[in-house]
Amino acid sequence: MTPAARLAAAIEVVADMETRHRPVAGALKDWGLSHRFAGSKDRAAIGNIVYDTLRWRSSSAWAMGEESPRALVLGMAGRHWGMDGARLAALIDGVPHAPELLTGTERERIDTADLSTAPGHVRADIPEWLAPHFERSFGDAWIAEGVALALRPPLDLRVNRLKADRDKVMKSLGKLGAAETTFAPDGLRIAATEKDGRHPNVQVEPAFQRGLFEIQDEGSQLAALMVGAKPGEQVLDLCAGAGGKTLALAAAMENKGQILATDSDRTRLAPIFDRLKRAGTRNGQVRPAGDSLDDLDGKMDAVLIDAPCTGTGTWRRRPDAKWRLSERNLADRIAEQSALLTAAVRYLKPGGRLVYVTCSMMPDENDDRIAAFVAATEGMTPVDPKTAVERSLGAELGPRLVAASRLTAHGVMMTPATTGTDGFFVSVLERTG
């Protein structure tokens, strides 16, 4: 397929998403099934166009003066791919299966669009209703935070210390450009490419098959480290999902003690069994969804709540999610978070740690939840965020992360704009009574 034909295909996919109100993955899959002549490279390129269109949806619509699928795709291509109106028109002109030729108005808008007078939410490329939440969280930097959330993400890996060290894995992935992460001591990063934004399929690498590394964002790795799990402890991962943080905790515990993993959703939990086996984790125990945890009351040194949230911190990887998010979604997540915090206390022994994590960048799900929980719960004391970071990450890494991240009243926030990670909030509390 020609580049012009790929643009036309991307317009079709975006139109399908708009018409049928469906996630991007489903729309791309259906397009591929109905256009089997398109090769894997074509499908990947079309996917990149669609994802980039969703990243900059709001600003592209403002620049083009309309929000049609055609305007969104061509506006993104013209403004973010370094193509002026004339070059984009030349790319399309006379090419089979291309979009209709650009109008004079479209060419002019691509060349002269100025976002300096656009509303803040347009410059930040976030839904308008979220602007007050972002401003409350980040003050004058809220637009810059939104802009950073619209960029293409890197691919981060966590070296499994149970089987290998970072140097060994980095050498094995040298051809992929893997380099050490800025903060996470076991992290490796493969930068996003400007050309097509594609990441290599690292799961076919022998090192992955042997369990030497896992795919995990650097911010998620740091959040797991802030649990402060030590060899011999009893740790409960209450919202384990597919097990990314469970595996990180098991490695930090050197396979000693016990990490118990559970989740309310059996489907989310299903991949954890194969992952534990591949990683060589021997101190992990999975509690299926719905099983009683009464035998854990008062026995845990630490409980991790990787809470269900709006996922605003992951928008670099899931740009379609930000346009589907609603105030009702936010209210539902807040209710779940509050219930989990209340339920977790019973499992802690005196002096035990409760670590609350979200991949949200909104105070409603972060500091507000901790403040409400502490006010309603006796015997739970928040640890000073600076102390929590430095105590769990050490004398060298801790101060560096403190300097780069945002410390809030009750936690630490990592963001694409500050730490180069996905957006994460981590709060550490102790049971004092």
What's the pLDDT tens digit per position in 261-273?
999 999 999 999 9
Model pLDDT for residues 348-382, shown as the tens digit of each residue: 999 999 999 999 999 999 999 999 999 999 999 99
More confident residue, 194 or 86: 86
Q: What are phi and psi of 399, to 5 degrees?
A: -60, -35
Query: Across all residues in the chain, what is the average pLDDT?
Result: 94
∠ CA 226-229-231, nearest 5°, is 155
pTM confidence score: 0.95
The Cα 425–Cα 219 span in angstroms is: 9
Query: Are 414 and 421 a contacting pair, CB within 8 Å?
Result: yes
For residue 198, give the DSSP letter: P
At residue 338 the predicted structure's pLDDT band, cuts being 50, 70 and 90, is very high
Tokens of residue 279, six digits:
């990683």
Instruction: With a cut of 80, say whether residue 194 has pLDDT above it.
Output: no
Helix axes 244-252, 272-279, angle to 10 degrees: 30
Q: What CA–CA distance (Å, rounded) separates 9 from 64?
A: 19
Q: How far apart are CA 322 and CA 131, in angstroms?
A: 12
Residues in the chain: 433
Domains of the chain with bracketed CATH: 3-118 (no CATH), 155-215 (3.30.70.1170), 218-431 (3.40.50.150)
> What's the whole-number mean pLDDT along residues 190-216?
88
- The whole-number pLDDT of residue 430 equals 97
- Write the pLDDT tens digit of every residue in 206-252: 999 999 999 999 999 999 999 999 999 999 999 999 999 999 999 99
Distance of CA 228 to the CA centre of its chain: 22
Ordered alpha helix ranges (H), 130-172 = 131-138, 142-149, 166-172
Question: How would residue 197 be classed by pLDDT, with cut points 50, 70 and 90?
Answer: low
- 373, 338 in Cβ contact below 8 A? yes
The mean per-residue pLDDT over the stretch 287-308 comes to 94
Q: How far apart are CA 348 and CA 299, in angstroms?
A: 6
Summarised one tens digit per residue, pLDDT across range 160-177 is: 999 999 999 999 998 999
Helix boundaries (H) for 187-326:
206-209, 218-225, 244-252, 266-269, 272-279, 319-324
Block residue for tokens 């975006």:
14
Residue 32 burial (10 A CB sphere; 0-12, 13-18, 19+): middle
Q: How far apart are CA 1 and CA 413, in angstroms?
A: 43
Catalytic site positions: 359
Judged against a pLDDT cut of 80, whether residue 180 lies above it is answered with yes
Q: Average pLDDT for residues 334-340, to the nearest whole number? A: 97
Q: Please state the residue numbers annotated as binding site for S-adenosyl-L-methionine.
A: 263, 306
Residue 433: pLDDT over 80:
no
> Is the Cβ–Cβ distance between 31 and 297 less than 8 Å?
no
The annotated binding site is made up of 263, 306
Contacts with 289 (C-beta within 8 Å, 6 or more apart), sequence order: 262, 263, 264, 265, 266, 269
